[in-house]
């Protein structure tokens, strides 16, 4: 017997961060999530999350616009439809609205969660089966203070929580950024991996000068140093340096992936379910990357637990990722809205068990933080 979608509820949830999180385009002190609750005629509820970084300073979707677009455009076309036919439903959303990848990702996640609960299997099982139950997780050092970042990283290594670190740079001058990164790498030593994320802050000439110095300092990965649409420039940088380039904002989905590969890009792709319109779109990009010999990295939009778990179920179906994952979003928040938080230990995170996402809402916490 089929189950119809009866209603779709969206809630804006504001959770403070444990510290200011400095990016090249914004400084975050609060993360806003759009929580989706999809209710079906068989009594099953599917959960999803739409989250972005820094609002419209980062990209074309903001939490407020995602809520409005789900409530007004995307959600209504799903009402009364068969909740189990995810292919047909996502195709329908593509016809109704262009773009809106993060909002669509939240809806696809909710559909997968509901179907997993319906069948009594995990989302990873729906996506082909988990190859891993424990995934490595790095931590982003983004206070902007060199000594504070060193102290924070050393403490996390000692606690066996993280041993790979990413630094957010691009807001200050190149010389300041290079000194900051080099000092942290020197203090942490060769047993710790240090990467940088520039968030598109440089032009290509600046990138050449900066990457040369960062490579000399021992940095292992350079994430999106130049604007997203400069695919040819990313390809040139990947060929010019030994240090690997990581495409993030420049590779939204498999179409961008094909463009970069055809232009000779080598290095790695940052997978994000949000920018690919859902877990299945991110896996399509991953399959293309693997075929072309491109490394994989499990990226985050600093989602809370629901969005992070959705990504983890997708990453768990892949072979071991060359560059690990950054699914630390819940750790950056002072509180949570789920009954059982994720378990971070031994430099990684455990994949939740149970049907669907394996996540349950804490109704009291949700009520406290919902806008």
pLDDT (0 to 100) of residue 86: 98
pLDDT (0 to 100) of residue 58: 83
Q: Is the pLDDT of residue 28 over 80?
A: no
pLDDT (mean) for 127-137: 98
Q: How confident is the model at residue 23 (pLDDT cuts 50, 70, 90)?
A: low
Q: Is the pLDDT of residue 27 over 90?
A: no
What value does the CA radius of gyration of the chain take, rounded to a whole number of Å?
A: 20
Residues designated as active site: 168, 326
pLDDT tens by residue, 146-157:
999 999 999 999
Q: Is the pLDDT of residue 199 over 80?
A: yes
Whether the CB-CB separation of 256 and 229 falls below 8 Å is answered with no
pLDDT (0 to 100) of residue 19: 78
Whether the CB-CB separation of 131 and 342 falls below 8 Å is answered with no
pLDDT tens by residue, 255-284:
999 999 999 999 999 999 999 999 999 999
Whole-Å CA distances, 28 to 54, 146, 148, 249, 338: 6, 19, 18, 19, 22
The more confident residue out of 26 and 86 is 86
Work out the mean pLDDT of the chain and round it to a whole number: 96
Question: Which domains does the chain show, CATH number per domain?
Answer: 5-120+363-369 (3.30.390.10), 126-350 (3.20.20.120)
Q: How confident is the model at residue 59 (pLDDT cuts 50, 70, 90)?
A: confident
pLDDT (0 to 100) of residue 191: 93
26 φ/ψ angles, rounded to the nearest 5 degrees: -165, 160
pLDDT (0 to 100) of residue 25: 61
Query: Percentage of residues in the chain with pLDDT exceeding 70?
Result: 98
Whole-prediction pTM: 0.96
C-alpha–C-alpha distance, residues 143 and 125, integer Å:
38
Burial class (CB in 10 A: 0-12, 13-18, 19+), 319: exposed
pLDDT (0 to 100) of residue 54: 77
Query: Percentage of residues in the chain with pLDDT exceeding 90?
Result: 93
C-alpha–C-alpha distance, residues 28 and 300, integer Å:
15
Residue 142 has, within 13 A of its CA and on its CB side, a CA count of 26
pLDDT (mean) for 203-229: 98
pLDDT (0 to 100) of residue 22: 67
pLDDT (0 to 100) of residue 56: 85
pLDDT (mean) for 62-70: 97
C-alpha–C-alpha distance, residues 239 and 126, integer Å:
38
b vs e for 82-104, b when ≥16 Cβ sit within 10 Å of the residue's Cβ?
Answer: ebbebeebbeebeeeeeebbbbb
Q: How confident is the model at residue 24 (pLDDT cuts 50, 70, 90)?
A: low
pLDDT (0 to 100) of residue 26: 67
Q: How confident is the model at residue 57 (pLDDT cuts 50, 70, 90)?
A: confident
């Amino acid at each position: 017997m089929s189950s119809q979608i009866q209603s779709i509820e969206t809630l804006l949830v504001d959770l403070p961060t444990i510290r200011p999180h400095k990016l090249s385009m914004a400084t975050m002190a609060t993360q806003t999530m759009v929580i989706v609750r999809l209710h079906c005629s068989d009594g099953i509820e599917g959960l999803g999350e739409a989250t972005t970084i820094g609002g419209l300073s980062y990209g074309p979707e903001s939490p407020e616009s995602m809520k409005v677009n789900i409530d007004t455009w995307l959600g209504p076309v799903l009402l009364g439809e068969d909740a189990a036919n995810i292919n047909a439903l996502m195709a329908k959303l593509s016809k109704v609205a262009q773009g809106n990848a993060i909002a669509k990702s939240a809806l696809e996640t909710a559909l997968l969660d509901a179907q997993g609960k319906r069948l009594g299997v995990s989302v990873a099982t729906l996506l082909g089966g988990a190859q891993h139950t424990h995934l490595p997780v790095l931590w982003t050092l983004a206070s902007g203070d060199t000594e504070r970042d060193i102290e924070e990283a050393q403490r996390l290594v000692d606690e066996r929580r993280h041993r790979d670190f990413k630094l957010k740079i691009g807001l200050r001058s190149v010389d300041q950024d290079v000194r900051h990164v080099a000092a942290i790498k020197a203090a942490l030593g060769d047993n710790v991996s240090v990467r940088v994320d520039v968030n598109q802050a440089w032009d290509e000439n600046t990138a050449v000068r900066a990457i040369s110095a960062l490579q000399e300092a021992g940095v292992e990965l350079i994430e999106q140093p130049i604007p997203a649409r400069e695919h040819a420039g990313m390809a040139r940088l990947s060929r010019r340096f030994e240090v690997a380039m990581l495409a993030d904002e420049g590779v939204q989905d498999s179409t961008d992936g094909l463009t970069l590969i055809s232009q000779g890009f080598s290095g790695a792709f940052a997978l994000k379910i949000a920018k690919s319109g859902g877990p299945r779109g991110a896996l399509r990009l991953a399959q293309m990357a693997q075929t072309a010999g491109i490394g994989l990295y499990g990226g985050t939009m600093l989602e809370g637990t629901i969005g992070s778990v959705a990504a983890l179920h997708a990453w768990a179906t892949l072979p071991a990722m060359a560059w690990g994952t950054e699914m630390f979003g819940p750790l950056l928040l002072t509180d949570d809205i789920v009954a059982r938080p994720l378990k971070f230990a031994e430099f990684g995170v455990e994949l939740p068990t149970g049907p669907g996402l394996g996540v349950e809402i804490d109704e009291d916490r949700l009520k406290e933080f919902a806008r």
